[in-house]
Amino acid sequence: MTHKLHFGSATPAREALQTKALIADINRIIQILDSDIAAEEKQARVFDRSQAEYPMLARTMAARRDNLLNTISALEQQLGRVDPELRHTLQHLVRG
């Protein structure tokens, strides 16, 4: 995935840090979705997605969560292509 910026180009290190932040944000959204799905299932007393009585809202949120998990996988693959020297620098920056 290539990003085009109007005001210059972001450095690879900055893009990698932004990608890591995006992954963290998406993980928080997934946690919220998991909690909301569990609440819907509990309210309906149906926990099997294959049952016809499974709540439509829970089904929709589960599909959204699955899409976000696929997005995280793609972003992590993108980060995996960062050269080793940059990866080493990023690990030190993230650890503080």
* Helical spans, DSSP H, in 1-96: 12-44, 56-80, 84-95
Residues 62, 27: Cα–Cα separation, whole Å: 14
Query: pLDDT value at position 82?
Result: 73
Q: What is the DSSP string of 67-91?
A: HHHHHHHHHHHHHHTS-HHHHHHHH
pTM: 0.75
In a domain, 2, yes or no: no
Q: What is the pLDDT along the chain (96 residues), one digit of tens a residue?
A: 555 555 555 687 788 889 999 999 999 999 999 999 999 999 999 999 999 999 999 999 999 999 999 999 999 998 888 766 666 666 776 665
| Structural domain count of the chain | 1
Range of the domain at 89: 14-95
Residues 60, 20: Cα–Cα separation, whole Å: 26
Query: pLDDT value at position 9?
Result: 56
How wide is the angle at C-alpha 89 spanned by C-alphas 31 and 86, nearest 5°?
90
In a domain, 45, yes or no: yes
